Amino acid sequence: MKVIGRKSMRCVMAALGLLVLSIGPISPKGSFVTAEAADGAAAAAAEIPQEPKVDADEDGMGGAEGEEEPAIPGATVQVLTDGDFERITQASTGATTGDWFVEFYAPWCGHCRKLDGTWTELAEKLGGEVNVGKVDATANRGLVKRFGVKGFPTLLFFSHGNLHKFAGPRKLDSFIEFGGFKKTDSVPVPGPPSLAGGLKGLLTSVLKDLEGVKDGKMPSQMTIMVLVGSLLLLLVLFATTTLSKPPPQAPSKRAKTD
């Protein structure tokens, strides 16, 4: 059998290449398309009229398709807690977040539950002008003590570092008027407690909750979190202390001498 040389192989490959070029490209289904057919398809596609592109700046519908409009700050009732109240409201400084109308409530309070719908509507009415928030007084004892909350619901208005207490009828129009004019006596907003004061208040709340457990009352969520966290901390300290102890050394045996 004769062996085909390199020159002969190159000639064969060149001939195959010319054959493929003369036939044309391969369609997605695997069949060959002639060059004339391909040129005809391209010309037909060029004659199809294209829909004009809409300029987003001209029709006023700028932005990506399906992009939602940004929410107006304060358009909904914002839930506030001991941990984020001062950071979100900046009540004691009156810096940049604007005025705040805050309800202190208890979940078991019937008057508070009756106020829910009106308070939500108030947030929608005052959206962008006054922020509306609420605080669960049973789970945030630090804020209750800080602002002297003694009954529910307690409605406080914070504006430019001053605190106004609402004492009128609990109706939407009264809330809007109060929020707009603030014609009541005010006092400076008490500052947030120090770290030592916060820990002391937390410990006092936990001990008070534990006393209620004796009478069959359920402890608050904060008390449960503190107890679980303390237990985990004790376990970590115990494990760290145990593992860090060096193993006991066996007494050295002195070599016996003759």
Active site residue 109: yes
75, 109, 176, 227: which one is catalytic? 109
* Catalytic option among 80, 102, 106, 112: 112
Q: How far is CA 234 from CA 56, 204, 242, in A?
A: 61, 20, 12
Tell me, yes or no, if 112 is annotated catalytic.
yes
User: Integer distance in angstroms from the first to the last C-alpha of the chain?
Assistant: 95
Helices and strands in the chain: count of H runs, count of E runs: 9, 6
**Phi-psi group of 148: left, alpha or beta (phi > 0 → left; psi -120 to 50 → alpha; rest → beta):** left
Bridge-based pairing state of the strands 186-188 and 154-159: unpaired
Q: 165 with 187: CB under 8 angstroms? A: no
* Cis peptide bond upstream of 219, omega within 30: no
Q: Show which residues are catalytic.
A: 109, 112
